[in-house]
Amino acid sequence: MNFFNIYLEKIKKSTIKNKKKLDFKENQILNKIIVETPPDNFDCDLSTNIALILAKKTNKNPKIIAEKIKAILIHEIKHFSSIDIAGPGFLNIKLSNEAWFYVIKNIEKNKKNFGSNKKNHKYNIEFVSANPTGPLHIGHCRGAIFGDVLSNLLKFNGNKVTKEFYINDYGKQINDFSKSIYFRLKEIKFNTKFPSDETLYPGSYIIDISKKILNDEPDINLENFDKIKNKLKKQGLKYSMDLIKLDLKNLGITHDKFFSETTLVKNKSVEKVIKILKKKNLIEEGYLDPPKGEDNKNWKKVKRLIFKSSLFGDDTNRALTKNDNTWTYFANDLAYHSNKVSRKYDYLINILGADHAGYIRRISSAVNALSKKENILICKVCQLVKLIKNGQPYKMSKRKGDFIEIKDVLNEVGKDSLRFMMLSRSNDAELDFDFNKVLEKNKENPVFYVQYCYARINSLYTSLKINPKSMNKLTGLKFNPNDYEYKLLRKIIEWPKIVELSVKKLEPHRIPFYLYELVTIFHSYWSKGNEDSKFKFIVNGKIKNELTFKIFQLITIILKNAMHILDVSLPKKM
């Protein structure tokens, strides 16, 4: 229910009906027409560029065309009460009272769905997918929150979404992880020193995991690592995933599906995909060139299996087997994405960290080779988070084991602030995460500013002792808004458009920005009464104008819907 689209269609319809008068033939030339919110300094509700577009296509003077269209629209569209021509030929439209009643009624009717554009696609969103070798750190949480909110947003817009976590439980890292547990176990049992080996994980959580394993099996035989390797891997993985799931839960995130990489290898999924690609002549046995960047010690010129990803725009072809003839990460990922393709989603979305952006070409090539649909895979990259504490950059080192865990941040700043803050920036831009700022409870911390609006509205209900639900039954409502109420209404009708745009561009950060703008007008209005009694909305303990409360109710609807998407709380009292 996007009001701008509704009026766009009406405008188009009327224009096409009057084709001859306006002297054009092809309806397509109306494709670029938009209906949008006019700049603040114009006292009108909608604005359209139709005259400019039409003038360009028919080589006419835009102002003359504008006059013609104005006459047509004002005659044909009852919801338009007046139209001004401004600037180079914009039509600035004011909606009639009838139109505003229609808008208000419509929002109240849709309520929880107000803003939803009722699409019906099937999405798979893969996000977090952190290595299961320990708890999450602050760097993970941007992508985690981004993915979660994007899922909520798509669901709100009527789609079906599967939230998926790919467990990288295969390969070298998980081996190093089990070895680290092995040495910690020896350290605990026999007091042997934990080796200073760069490949091992030093973090203290390894000690905790080791203790748990020891608790399960106090008599575990530690003579030979290789003999208990698989056991340690399995147990370590389990406890590690417990840590990750707990972190996610505290962030308010639950995945629908956890997909294990090892499973793919075990049930020969990789071989199966390679067979398919071989038939398409996309696999070859051969040699690859050495890497272009820094020298790599492990690089060897060996005949190996190669995927011809350069046919799909990748810089180079990609290896599927390692030196020891096991599968590369990419080979397994190929199988994983083949699996996702076979599950018949309309879109596959991968949320990646900036350090994995270089991987996109490769995996997109693979999916394009595997799927009949074009560009079914969309990769969204979250840029880095820079931590700042007391005005200083705060560096983490995973190798030393001194990184900031999500649970510590949550303890300090809370889920609401963390989620809101992580979304208060475009995913394409780096984000400064300032510990001092998120702890502040004022305007500089936008989450409080937004929540405060809801709390203020609710305080009205309590102080006036009215039940907000009874407000639905208002009769004899008059449409006589003051300047602030007009501003609010104009902002309110933007909400579905914000949702639509956020979905289209997969950019949930637009929602916090919108909320901030909306509540700014509200807070302005609230305070205006102090200065000018004309703007007081309560007189002698009674509501002055029912429309005011109607508008506040519409704000409440939006706040609830939006904060539900963000999964940030909305307390009635603060």
Partner RNA sequence: GCGCCCUUAGCUCAGUUGGAUAGAGCAUCGGUUUUCUAAACCGAGGGUCGUAGGUUCGAAUCCUUCAGGGCGCGCCA
Please identify which residue in 325, 533, 534, 540 interacts with RNA, judged by CB under 7 A. Answer: 533
Q: Is the dihedral of CA 526, 529, 534, 538 positive or negative?
A: positive
- 303's CB contacts (< 8 A; 6+ apart) are 285, 286, 287
Q: How far is CA 406 from CA 12, 77, 531, in A?
A: 51, 55, 45
Please identify which residue in 47, 151, 240, 309 interacts with RNA, judged by CB under 7 A. Answer: 47
Please identify which residue in 347, 537, 549, 552 interacts with RNA, judged by CB under 7 A. Answer: 537
- Of 96-104, 230-238, 248-256, 535-543, which part binds RNA (CB under 7 A)? 535-543
Instruction: Report, in Å, the least distance between residue 430 CB and RNA.
Output: 6
Nearest to 248 by CA among 259, 258, 236: 258
Instruction: Report, in Å, the least distance between residue 374 CB and RNA.
Output: 17
491 binds RNA (CB under 7 A): no
229 binds RNA (CB under 7 A): no
Q: Which is nearer to RNA, 337 or 425 (CB)?
A: 425
214 binds RNA (CB under 7 A): no
Q: Which of residues 348-367 bind RNA (CB under 7 A)?
A: 354-359, 361
Structure tokens at 336: 């994983």
486 binds RNA (CB under 7 A): no
Structure tokens at 146: 């981004």
Please identify which residue in 372, 395, 469, 573 interacts with RNA, judged by CB under 7 A. Answer: 573
Label residue 9 exposed, middle or buried (CB < 10 Å: 0-12, 13-18, 19+). Answer: exposed
SS3 127: coil
Please identify which residue in 123, 449, 495, 552 interacts with RNA, judged by CB under 7 A. Answer: 449
Q: Which is nearer to RNA, 36 or 187 (CB)?
A: 36
Instruction: Report, in Å, the least distance between residue 409 CB and RNA.
Output: 18
Structure tokens at 201: 């994980």
Q: Which of residues 257-316 bind RNA (CB under 7 A)?
A: 261, 287-288, 290-294, 296, 298-302, 304, 315
- Of 44-52, 137-145, 214-222, 244-252, which part binds RNA (CB under 7 A)? 44-52
The 378-407 site mask, x for binding RNA (CB under 7 A), equals ---x-xx-----------------------
Q: Is the dihedral of CA 321, 327, 328, 331 positive or negative?
A: positive
- Count other C-beta atoms under 10 Å from residue 139's C-beta: 22
Please identify which residue in 11, 22, 52, 341 interacts with RNA, judged by CB under 7 A. Answer: 52
- Of 13-21, 151-159, 368-376, 451-459, which part binds RNA (CB under 7 A)? 451-459
Instruction: Report, in Å, the least distance between residue 211 CB and RNA.
Output: 25
Q: Which helix or strand (DSSP H or E) is residue 517 part of? A: helix 510-531
Instruction: Report, in Å, the least distance between residue 30 CB and RNA.
Output: 13
Cα–Cα distance between 138 and 385 in angstroms, integer? 8
- Of 33-41, 150-158, 241-249, 264-272, which part binds RNA (CB under 7 A)? 33-41
Instruction: Report, in Å, the least distance between residue 71 CB and RNA.
Output: 18
Nearest to 562 by CA among 410, 383, 423, 378: 423
Instruction: Report, in Å, the least distance between residue 108 CB and RNA.
Output: 23
The 418-447 site mask, x for binding RNA (CB under 7 A), equals -------xx-xxxxx--------xxxx---
207 binds RNA (CB under 7 A): no
DSSP letter assigned to residue 396? -
Cα–Cα distance between 73 and 478 in angstroms, integer? 26
SS3 196: coil
Q: Is the dihedral of CA 519, 525, 528, 533 positive or negative?
A: negative
171 binds RNA (CB under 7 A): yes
Nearest to 187 by CA among 165, 203, 210, 164: 210
Label residue 237 exposed, middle or buried (CB < 10 Å: 0-12, 13-18, 19+). Answer: buried
Q: Which is nearer to RNA, 109 or 268 (CB)?
A: 268
The 506-525 site mask, x for binding RNA (CB under 7 A), equals -x-xx--x--x---x--xx-
Q: Which of residues 56-75 bind RNA (CB under 7 A)?
A: 56
Instruction: Report, in Å, the least distance between residue 541 CB and RNA.
Output: 9
3-class secondary structure per residue, 93-119: EEECHHHHHHHHHHHHHHHHHCCCCCC
Nearest to 69 by CA among 16, 13, 25, 15: 15
323 binds RNA (CB under 7 A): yes
Buried b (16+ CB within 10 A) or exposed e, 293-309: eeeeeeeeeeebbbbbb
Q: Phi, psi at residue 462, to the nearest 5°? A: -70, -45
Number of residues lying near RNA (CB under 7 A): 103
The 76-105 site mask, x for binding RNA (CB under 7 A), equals ----------xxx-x-x-------------
**Residue 370 · residue 276 · CB < 8 Å:** yes
Instruction: Report, in Å, the least distance between residue 387 CB and RNA.
Output: 12
Instruction: Report, in Å, the least distance between residue 527 CB and RNA.
Output: 3
- In this structure, the dihedral spanned by the alpha carbons of residues 197, 199, 202 and 203, taken in order and rounded to 10 degrees, is 180
Instruction: Report, in Å, the least distance between residue 370 CB and RNA.
Output: 18
Cα–Cα distance between 197 and 423 in angstroms, integer? 38
Please identify which residue in 113, 173, 269, 569 interacts with RNA, judged by CB under 7 A. Answer: 173
Q: Which of residues 128-157 bind RNA (CB under 7 A)?
A: 131
